[in-house]
Amino acid sequence: MKIITLPQYKAEQLRGDSSTHVISIRTPGDCPADIRRNFGMVHYVALSDTDSPEPEAIARIVNAAIIAREYRANHLVIHCHMGVSRSVGAARAIAEHFGAEYDAQWPGNEAVRTAVLQALMGS
């Protein structure tokens, strides 16, 4: 599985296929992204960009990653508003845990990476 991180506006422009899953991260209170173009599955998660990620949001990200792996998704697209913090933190953790292909260009949110990785190790 190859993991791709993007800002929201680019994710909304993508045309997917059934072997591509999406984790769509938004700030709580914001409108969900408009992701609806033939993806295998789309998982919407409200997660603040803080040093204390919400446990329920982390659980939803972990669940989405496990589902993508079980369905043998070729690609996992993870986006947040700018595509450089929450999405990158989650992507780095998922790649580390599953040995997935991911080329991080940004360090991402370290608290999100740590929380997702710890939750994956406990699953």
Q: Is the dihedral of CA 68, 48, 104, 36 positive or negative?
A: positive
Counting the structural domains of the chain, the total is 1
Side-chain half-sphere CA neighbours of 25 within 13 A: 34
With CA atoms as reference, report the closest residue to 64 among 119, 11, 7: 119
Task: Name the residue range of residue 90's domain.
Answer: 2-122
Domain containing residue 28: CATH number: 3.90.190.10
**pLDDT tens for each residue of the chain, 123 residues long:** 999 999 999 999 998 899 999 999 999 999 999 997 789 999 999 999 999 999 999 999 999 999 999 999 999 999 999 999 999 999 999 999 999 999 988 899 999 999 999 999 997
Global pTM reads: 0.96
